[in-house]
Chains A and B, each alone.
Chain A
């Protein structure tokens, strides 16, 4: 993107430096910077749990449903529908997953969640696509309806069963199982126990090395199969949207429905497909929650659909950005499940402060003074919070993702680019 805008590209002799600064390597640099900052914070705050494989594993677990919700929003909005209702679709996913998981087992729970969410998505699409109802209005309606349907179904299905009630399913039949990658984290290979390389790296405690060990180890040890599928979904959706004809048509319907129509694309069909996929992904997110808890529980979703929307916006309507947002928010949620969340939150605050200082320096070098000033103030506030908070309240962690998104949206609203004609009801013959 940026290279095309440079006035004088020199394709013949690009220096090593220019190549390393190209967008292709940007992800690598950002990752490295994050790891470095986390490592510094880990050593200064003397809290090894900040990047331990245990913490990362939990963070991955909590990030998965958020990421699926974000992906759900992404597919919907790329195809032209603003999906405020995906929170309700997640609720539909949880009730179906709780039902099928109890009746038929964990894999059927996953399928049930997908089907339940898809029903919600199609229902919303009837309103928005066929009848042209304002998308926010329809989404609000879905969000109000879904908990009602879930509660009615729960009272019909679970009440009177062993361990079931109107707020909880009796529990899933069995576990979905876990994956531990051979060699990286010592998983089995045809019955042979491979060495746990990442675990060994993590135990060294070295600067950066131990953190890489912890992070990679956490991402590859005892990962539940539904989470593995979630990660796969990100690649699948990215491939589908940007490398297949169907994906092109879907995005076309979100950007320029009239132009898409003039080229023979059925905008309504595409928007239905988009909403079915969006609902399915949201429902799968609900199912992942059910598989984590082992059962359906009322209010299990707890606004994660909205959190998913936040990750999608944070990620600028791109899968990679959405994944990064989900990782960040999942991490913030995940650490509250660890043994000493207060200390972890402090360490995380320190990491955030260090990161913000580095960002300030970077922005100052680029002479973007206004931004640098804003980030500097945020850094000072974060440092203050680090020193002031003896034992931070969990509620402050709870709000972190929303505050981060709000700041990100406020700072970067000019650089964010939603699909051009999302949210506008479209009918044949419209310009």
Chain B
């Protein structure tokens, strides 16, 4: 048990150390004091307020990571989650402001619209793949930009809020029935008290449920087994009766459907938005790609990665007065990701080599001894190459 955790944690630890080292070098080159900078970063995140802000920030990142992880699990690289969520958020935001429904139903309606739009947009890539053999990476990249163009077109021409004078390109604000309240009351019930103005946004439970659902789907369902099998060995999966075309269609639809939810924390639970407009975050889908890689497509791993990402972003916010550019956060994130990706690959290859060696040793031993244990490497322990 302990050894398993250690094996999973060694690569991220190496990556974190390397990221700190690389950032320190960057700071030294640019004439700053790394120790001072990191102390200041720690001071910034060491407060309840910061923890709440970090969690708020991490929630959409987490959803974004899960969305692409579903595809990554079977080596389907859905690079287009960014377009899927922008289009979904726009249409869901517009549809949500056009209807009037009772509170809970209203939120469910917006969810449904967002999930459908995201899923259908991703399904285009899936259909092109199974009917015309178009590479998913290529088609999702193209569809990304088509979605970006289409959503600015729709926003400018059709969904713009005219009552606002129509000057700012944004949809109508969602009514109170479509807003998810913050969780402060729940937290206060347990005896914690937040400073005024600090809100833990109400989308967090949904993200947790999503993560659990993803885990269930992957590890406790027939579909999840087929998915992982297809990712590990597509030929073996097909030989075992898995229909690869069906898998591509369902997996990409699911991936897109989850991607459709990326914009919802902003739309439904963040008082700064409650509408889709020019200020809406536009790059969260791309962030999710990195988080899925860091978290190794594992729900807990992605959550950890999302929190690390949000923590770095929060920690670097108050570096300005020190004269340290807050952009050092981007260096931290980037070097962390790149080293982690390499370290995972190295660890994977070493484990694989060890497994082969032990299997070979077992085969030799078999000639003289009673049958040994079967090779220890089960599906459970292996990870997909991503």
The answer to whether A and B come from one shared complex is yes
Interface of A toward B, CB cutoff 8 Å:
82, 84, 123, 126-127, 131-134, 136-138, 140-149, 151-152, 154-156, 159, 166, 303, 306-307, 309-310, 313, 393, 395-396, 398-399, 402-403, 405-406, 409-411, 413-414
Q: Which of A145, A147, A403, A406 contacts B338 (CB 8 A)?
A: A145
Q: Which of A131, A395, A405 contacts B149 (CB 8 A)?
A: A395
A sample of 30 cross-chain residue pairs with beta-carbon separation below 8 angstroms, ordered by A number, consists of A123-B338, A126-B342, A134-B385, A134-B386, A137-B293, A137-B386, A138-B338, A142-B338, A144-B286, A144-B337, A145-B330, A145-B338, A148-B331, A151-B327, A152-B26, A152-B30, A166-B327, A303-B145, A306-B145, A309-B138, A393-B157, A395-B150, A395-B153, A395-B156, A396-B149, A398-B148, A403-B146, A406-B142, A406-B143, A409-B139
CB <8 Å contact, A399 and B150: yes
Which residue on B lies nearest to A123, using beta carbons? B338
CB <8 Å contact, B386 and A143: no
CB <8 Å contact, A144 and B385: no
Is B349 at the interface (CB under 8 A from chain A)? yes
> Could you tell me the distance in whole angstroms from the C-beta of A236 to the nearest C-beta in chain B?
27
Chain B hits for A140, CB < 8 A: 79, 289-290, 293
- Among B128, B156, B338, residue most surrounded by chain A Cβ atoms (within 10 Å): B338
- In Å, the complex CA distance between A284 and B245 comes to 40
Is B214 at the interface (CB under 8 A from chain A)? no
> Could you tell me the distance in whole angstroms from the C-beta of A116 to the nearest C-beta in chain B?
15
CB <8 Å contact, A148 and B334: yes
- In Å, the complex CA distance between A409 and B137 comes to 12
CB <8 Å contact, A155 and B327: yes
Chain A hits for B349, CB < 8 A: 132
Within 8 A of A (CB), among B138-165: 138-139, 141-146, 148-150, 152-153, 156-157
- In Å, the complex CA distance between A82 and B141 comes to 14
Which residue on A lies nearest to B72, using beta carbons? A137
Chain B hits for A141, CB < 8 A: 290, 293, 334, 337-338, 341
> Could you tell me the distance in whole angstroms from the C-beta of A86 to the nearest C-beta in chain B?
12
Is B132 at the interface (CB under 8 A from chain A)? yes
Q: Which of A131, A133, A136 contacts B77 (CB 8 A)?
A: A136
Known: A393-B157, A395-B156. A137 touches B142 (CB 8 A): no
Chain B hits for A159, CB < 8 A: 325
Which residue on B lies nearest to A403, using beta carbons? B146
- In Å, the complex CA distance between A393 and B128 comes to 27
> Could you tell me the distance in whole angstroms from the C-beta of A100 to the nearest C-beta in chain B?
17
Is B335 at the interface (CB under 8 A from chain A)? yes
CB <8 Å contact, B150 and A144: no
> Could you tell me the distance in whole angstroms from the C-beta of B178 to the nearest C-beta in chain A?
27
Known: A166-B327, A393-B157. A145 touches B385 (CB 8 A): no
Interface of B toward A, CB cutoff 8 Å:
26, 30, 77, 79, 128, 132-135, 137-139, 141-146, 148-150, 152-153, 156-157, 286-287, 289-290, 293, 325-331, 333-335, 337-338, 341-342, 345-346, 349, 385-386
- In Å, the complex CA distance between A306 and B143 comes to 11
Chain A hits for B156, CB < 8 A: 393, 395
List the 9 closest pairs (A to B, CB-CB), nearest first.
Answer: A148-B330, A145-B334, A399-B149, A155-B325, A395-B153, A152-B327, A402-B142, A151-B327, A398-B149
- In Å, the complex CA distance between A126 and B18 comes to 16
- In Å, the complex CA distance between A395 and B139 comes to 19
Chain A hits for B143, CB < 8 A: 402, 406
CB <8 Å contact, B330 and A152: yes
CB <8 Å contact, A149 and B334: yes
Known: A155-B327, A393-B157. A127 touches B145 (CB 8 A): no
Chain A hits for B342, CB < 8 A: 126-127, 131, 133
- Among A151, A307, A402, A409, residue most surrounded by chain B Cβ atoms (within 10 Å): A402
Known: A141-B338, A393-B156. A410 touches B134 (CB 8 A): yes
Which residue on B lies nearest to A400, using beta carbons? B149
Which residue on B lies nearest to A133, using beta carbons? B345
> Could you tell me the distance in whole angstroms from the C-beta of B176 to the nearest C-beta in chain A?
32
CB <8 Å contact, A144 and B327: no
CB <8 Å contact, B157 and A306: no
- In Å, the complex CA distance between A399 and B143 comes to 9
Which residue on A lies nearest to B151, using beta carbons? A395
CB <8 Å contact, A127 and B341: yes
Chain B hits for A156, CB < 8 A: 30, 325
Which residue on A lies nearest to B329, using beta carbons? A148
CB <8 Å contact, B338 and A127: yes
Question: 10 new A-B pairs (CB below 8 Å) besides A141-B337, A144-B334?
Answer: A134-B345, A141-B293, A141-B341, A144-B290, A152-B328, A155-B326, A166-B325, A306-B144, A395-B153, A402-B142
Which residue on A lies nearest to B29, using beta carbons? A156
- In Å, the complex CA distance between A406 and B385 comes to 28
Known: A148-B327, A148-B333. A402 touches B386 (CB 8 A): no
Chain A hits for B77, CB < 8 A: 136
CB <8 Å contact, A144 and B157: no
Which residue on A lies nearest to B153, using beta carbons? A395
> Could you tell me the distance in whole angstroms from the C-beta of B270 to the nearest C-beta in chain A?
23
CB <8 Å contact, A410 and B132: yes
Chain B hits for A82, CB < 8 A: 137
- In Å, the complex CA distance between A313 and B326 comes to 38
> Could you tell me the distance in whole angstroms from the C-beta of B193 to the nearest C-beta in chain A?
37
- In Å, the complex CA distance between A154 and B328 comes to 11
CB <8 Å contact, A414 and B133: yes
- In Å, the complex CA distance between A350 and B331 comes to 48
> Could you tell me the distance in whole angstroms from the C-beta of A129 to the nearest C-beta in chain B?
12
- In Å, the complex CA distance between A82 and B135 comes to 12
- In Å, the complex CA distance between A80 and B149 comes to 32
CB <8 Å contact, B293 and A143: no
> Could you tell me the distance in whole angstroms from the C-beta of B149 to the nearest C-beta in chain A?
4
CB <8 Å contact, B341 and A138: yes
> Could you tell me the distance in whole angstroms from the C-beta of B294 to the nearest C-beta in chain A?
10
> Could you tell me the distance in whole angstroms from the C-beta of B196 to the nearest C-beta in chain A?
32
- In Å, the complex CA distance between A291 and B329 comes to 29
Which residue on B lies nearest to A140, using beta carbons? B289
Chain B hits for A406, CB < 8 A: 128, 134, 139, 142-143, 146
CB <8 Å contact, A152 and B286: no
Chain A hits for B153, CB < 8 A: 393, 395-396
- In Å, the complex CA distance between A267 and B157 comes to 53
Known: A84-B137, A141-B290, A144-B337. A405 touches B328 (CB 8 A): no
CB <8 Å contact, A144 and B287: yes
Which residue on A lies nearest to B335, using beta carbons? A145
Q: Which of B134, B138, B330, B386 contacts A147 (CB 8 A)?
A: B330
Chain B hits for A146, CB < 8 A: 334
Chain A hits for B338, CB < 8 A: 123, 127, 138, 141-142, 145
- Among B30, B141, B385, residue most surrounded by chain A Cβ atoms (within 10 Å): B141
> Could you tell me the distance in whole angstroms from the C-beta of B357 to the nearest C-beta in chain A?
15
Chain B hits for A133, CB < 8 A: 341-342, 345
> Could you tell me the distance in whole angstroms from the C-beta of A419 to the nearest C-beta in chain B?
13
Chain B hits for A147, CB < 8 A: 330
> Could you tell me the distance in whole angstroms from the C-beta of A138 to the nearest C-beta in chain B?
7
> Could you tell me the distance in whole angstroms from the C-beta of B199 to the nearest C-beta in chain A?
29
- Among A146, A151, A306, A406, residue most surrounded by chain B Cβ atoms (within 10 Å): A406
Chain A hits for B148, CB < 8 A: 398
Chain A hits for B346, CB < 8 A: 131
